[in-house]
């Protein structure tokens, strides 16, 4: 029994996965499922105003951590001036202050996204600005009282487990690679969005990069099979 457990752990490590979760196998079925999961997350993000709350639900649905609540880790010392296009989207001139915040949103030990956020402090309340400046609270939670709306500027999958035109016969499904883990890259989805207050005034522009950790759970096909 001990030898079996040790052998399984070594095999999982050889596949590049943590021993406490099953890796995604490199098979056509697993690739199809991974693509379906990414498209589901993408659609969920596009249909809700708060990325933080969407990731809360994703974290809980896939049991990524106890508590299943997104925590924002501030990344300091990497401030980026707003591009001209961001100022244009926010309807502010070059003389109006814009604040910058970079965070990593994680569920337990799983960093699910990294976000660059430029926002207009004068369009938030003093309490909101104070919280954003002095804490790691996720932006979406802080500004939730504004009843904000999210307007997608761009959304794209940065990685597909399947080749382009696979569904129309343009390319065959990849062959199974027995014993190997599906290579999931660090970045899988990117969104850019403008946030507006209830009165329609824009106050934040975000660039969100979702990581391969959004798939840090065993594939459902594997869970449904009996040994």
For residue range 134-186, what is the model confidence (pLDDT) as tens digits? 998 889 889 999 999 999 999 999 999 998 877 766 678 788 888 899 999 99
Element (H, E) at 215: none
Question: 0.95 exceeded by the pTM?
Answer: no
For residue range 31-63, what is the model confidence (pLDDT) as tens digits? 999 999 999 999 999 999 999 999 999 999 999
Residue 205: what are its φ and ψ, rounded to 5°? -125, 125
Residue with tokens 């009165």: 199
What integer is the mean pLDDT of 97-106? 95
Is residue 73 within 8 A of residue 106, CB to CB? The reply is yes
Instruction: Please write down the long-range contacts of 130-136, taking CB distance under 8 Å and 24 or more positions apart.
Output: 132/99, 132/101, 136/71, 136/72, 136/73, 136/74, 136/103
DSSP string covering 88-99: HHHT--TTS--E
């Amino acid at each position: 029994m001990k030898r079996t457990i040790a052998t399984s752990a070594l095999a999982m490590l050889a596949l590049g996965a943590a021993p406490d979760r099953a890796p995604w196998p490199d098979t056509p079925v697993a690739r199809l499922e991974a693509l379906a999961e990414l498209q589901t997350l993408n659609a969920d993000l596009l249909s809700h105003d708060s990325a933080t709350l969407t990731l809360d639900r994703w974290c809980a649905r896939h049991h990524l951590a106890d508590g299943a609540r997104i925590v924002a880790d501030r990344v300091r010392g990497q401030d980026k001036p707003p591009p001209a296009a961001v100022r244009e989207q926010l309807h502010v001139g070059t003389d109006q202050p814009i604040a910058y915040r970079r965070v990593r949103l994680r569920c337990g030990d799983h960093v699910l996204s990294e976000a660059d956020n430029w926002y207009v402090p004068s369009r938030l309340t003093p309490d909101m600005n104070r919280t954003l400046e002095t804490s790691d609270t996720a932006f979406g939670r802080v500004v939730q009282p504004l009843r904000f709306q999210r307007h997608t500027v761009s959304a794209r999958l940065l990685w597909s487990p399947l080749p382009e035109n696979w569904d129309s016969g343009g390319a065959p499904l990849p062959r199974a690679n027995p014993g190997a883990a599906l290579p999931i890259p660090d970045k899988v989805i990117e969104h850019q969005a403008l946030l507006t207050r209830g009165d329609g005034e824009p106050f934040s522009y975000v660039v969100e990069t979702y990581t391969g950790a959004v798939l840090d759970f065993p594939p459902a096909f594997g869970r449904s099979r009996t040994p």
